[in-house]
Every structure is written in structure tokens, then in C-alpha cells.
Amino acid sequence: MNSRRNFLQKLAASVAAFPLLSVETLASIEQTGSLVQDGPPLRVAIMGLGSYGTRVAEAMKDCKRARLTGVVSGTPAKITSWQSKYNIPAKNCYNYENFDRIKDNPDIDAVYVITPNALHREHAIRAAKAGKHVICEKPMALNAKEGQEMVDACKKANVKLLVGYRMHFEPKTLEIVRMRKEGELGKILFFQGLSGFAIGDPGQWRLTKELAGGGALMDIGIYSINGARYMVGEEPVWVTAQETKTDPQKFKPGVDETIQFQLGFPGGAVASCLSTYSMNNLDRFFLNGSKGFAELQPATGYGPIKGRTNKGELTQPHMTHQTIQMDEMAAIIMDGKQAVVPVDGEEGLRDLKIIDAIYKAVATGKKVELKLL
């Protein structure tokens, strides 16, 4: 009896912490310690064993549904080290020349593309043609044209395309989305997104137009673009933008240092955002409604995310973002589960259309109309 009472008490606490989830899912969390219900595992090959690939691999050790079973890398020494660290058999290891052969490997369901931005398109399309589901890091591609080609290739190959938007599964973020959806914040008229950090080594690929496709906007400003959409809950219909550059040596032509941009939404809301590679401690979201407000700071770092609303501090528990993301993506791919905030290729494509429009607004000094729906 006691254990049943404890279970029900814990369940009630979970309902408060994760109000968007069904009671069945919450019961499963309490019983299994996971947000994800049982089912077949998603067996993933990580492509690009750099700093973020390593973070994802470490986080996947705690996954219930996703499993790291393969790697794709151009560096033989990294393959050897990952093999022993993550117990990956030699038959599941590929390089960039031979990885199309992954199509004959029944032990890999999905390829997670974690290479520099300019390589996402080619890598994702090759994985799709090999019949594997694709998870691709943000930004999904360099521009909307490339993004559309990726969406089309995955559709043609009948595989899913997901984008590594880890914040879409973050509990405090989802609580704000719930409050906004249920009208607790009233009519939304303003969002502010500040996304930036002071970038170091001037020789890195993030500061090379050919590999990064741009500058801070592609890398970090995209969090404010994406955040504005899921916080306001609408698709923007216009963009204005202004660029400032204080260090043209470090930030060469085509590599943006700082861009301020504004997004207009059909319901009348406006987003005012800053994207920069020159300022530290810029990771803040603020959403204002007629009945309340919500703020997150830090809003998109690896966490713990902190935030409050007009009702008080947000207390949802911290979970390693990449662990929960990969478990949820396993459920999306294997069970057809719907994410509360979508992470599919169309979602990535909309952000790319906004990025294209922001660069156009910077270049022309004019307001650019958007048609995302």
C-alpha cells in the first residue's frame, strides 16, 4: 500500500513538473526513470567525432532508447579510440570515402551528422541515399535551397530527417511553451532573444565562410531565431536586420560578427534579437504577454537552464540535454511520436529561410517579407 501511495505521490509531482506529458508517460517515467517508454533501440552512427560529437556520445551512455553503434570519421586514430571507449565493432566504422556502404549494415538505423555546417547537406543526403534516418546538427544547411534539397532527398528515400534542436526537449523551456499555449501568459506581444559569446581562435572553421556559411548568426544567433518561433508560437512574416563589425580582421567578409534583427509575427508580436561572436554572457530569452512573462537565463547553454515566470521560479529538473534529445528522437523515429516542438527537416528549413532573409535585410537595409507557411 505504502509503495503504491509513494508511487502516486511521485506521479503527482511529475504531473506538476511535466504537465504536457500524458499520465501514461509520466507513470513510465516514475517506473523507468526515463521520459521515454520501452521499445526498439535507435542504433546511431555519429559522423564527425569533434567536440560536439564527443558530447553527444558521452550523453548517449545514459540513453534508454538510443544507442551509439557506429562512427564515421576521416581520422583513423579517433576511430580506434572511439571503438575501445564505446565498444564499437570494426564493421560499424567508416570513413568519408567508404561510408555509402553503410547501406549494407543492418546494425545502424540512423546517421547523426555533426560535421561543420557546409558539409551537412552532402553528408545528410548520402546517409539518406544509404537508407538511413538522418539527424543533422544545426544549422541544418548553409541556406534554404540546400535545406530544401535535404528535405526532398529524405522524403524520396523514405527516411526521417531530424535537426539537433536539443532545447525542444528541455523541461523549463517546455513549461513556458505550455503556459503560453494554455493562455496563462495572455496575448504575446514581445520576445527578446540574446545569443552570443566571444569566439576565440581566429583560425577555426566557424570563422571561415566556406565551412561555416556565415558567422555568429549561423552558429549561435540561430538559437534566438528558433527560440522566437517556439516562444511566440507563430511563424514570422517579416524581418529587419542591422550588422555591426568591430574587428574586420577576425571577421572577414561574409562572416558576421554582430547582427541585430527583428521579426514580426502575424498576431502583432515583435521579436528583438541580438546575435554576436564578440560578447560573453549573452544567453537570454524574455517573453512578455498581457497576463504574465517568462524569462530564461541561461536560455540555451548546456544547462542547468534557469528561469522564472510571473508565477515564480521554474523548478523543472535539469536533464542532460543530449541524453533526453536522443531518447526522444528514438521515439520519434521508431514509434512515430510527435515532439511538442517539432524537430523535423521542415522546422530546420524554416530557420534557414529566416537566416536567408536576415542576410538579405542586412545587405539591402530593407524589410524582407517572409512566407513560411
Identify the residue among 45, 114, 154, 332 touching ligand NAD (CB under 6 A).
114
164 is a contact residue toward ligand NAD (CB under 6 A): yes
Binds ligand NAD by CB under 6 A, chosen from 11, 27, 28, 50 = 50
> Per rule CB under 6 A, is residue 215 in the interface with ligand NAD?
no
In whole angstroms, the minimum distance from the beta carbon of 6 to ligand NAD comes to 36
- Residue 205 is a binding residue for ligand NAD (CB under 6 A): yes
Catalytic residue among 94, 112, 223, 277: 223
Nearest Cα to Cα of residue 307 among 320, 319, 294, 291: 294
Nearer to ligand NAD, 85 or 187 (CB): 85
By CB under 6 A, residue 325 contacts ligand NAD: no
Beta strands 188-196 and 110-113 are unpaired
Smallest distance from ligand NAD to CB 49, Å: 5
Cβ–Cβ under 8 Å, residues 318 and 303: yes
**Closer residue to ligand NAD in complex, CB, 211/372:** 211
Is 166 among the residues that bind ligand NAD (CB under 6 A)? yes
Binding-site residue total for ligand NAD (CB under 6 A)? 19
Alpha carbons 219 and 148: distance in angstroms, whole number: 19
Among positions 36, 53, 326, 350, the unique one binding ligand NAD when judged by CB under 6 A: 53
- Residue 223: active-site member: yes
Establish whether 230 is a catalytic residue: no
CB of 361 to ligand NAD, least distance (A): 22
CB of 115 to ligand NAD, least distance (A): 4
Q: Per CB under 6 A, which region of 23-31, 116-124, 145-153, 269-277 contacts ligand NAD?
A: 116-124
Choice between 48 and 221, CB closer to ligand NAD = 48
Name the residue nearer to ligand NAD (CB basis): 211 or 237. 211
> Residues with Cβ < 8 Å from 89, sequence gap 6 or more?
83
Q: State how far the alpha carbon of 34 is from the alpha carbons of 7, 14, 59, 60, 100, in Å.
A: 15, 12, 14, 13, 34
Residue 74 near ligand NAD by CB under 6 A: yes
Beta strands 238-244; 258-264: pairing state: antiparallel
Q: Which residue in 43, 65, 121, 137 binds ligand NAD (CB under 6 A)?
A: 137
Give least dist CB 132 to ligand NAD, A: 18
Residue number of the CB closest to ligand NAD reads 50
Cβ nearer to ligand NAD, comparing 175 with 219: 219
Residue from 18, 35, 48, 295 touching ligand NAD (CB under 6 A): that is: 48
Whole-angstrom distance, CA of residue 275 vs CA of residue 218: 9
Beta bridge partners of 293: 288
Q: How far is the CB of 277 from ligand NAD (least distance, A)?
A: 13
Minimal distance, residue 202 CB to ligand NAD, in Å: 14
Say whether residue 197 binds ligand NAD (CB under 6 A). no
Identity of the residue, 53 or 236, whose beta carbon is nearer to ligand NAD in the bound complex: 53
Query: Choosing from 64, 132, 138, 353, which is the catalytic residue?
Result: 138
Binding residues vs ligand NAD (CB under 6 A): 48-53, 74, 114-117, 119, 137-138, 164, 166, 205, 211, 219
Active site residues: 138, 223
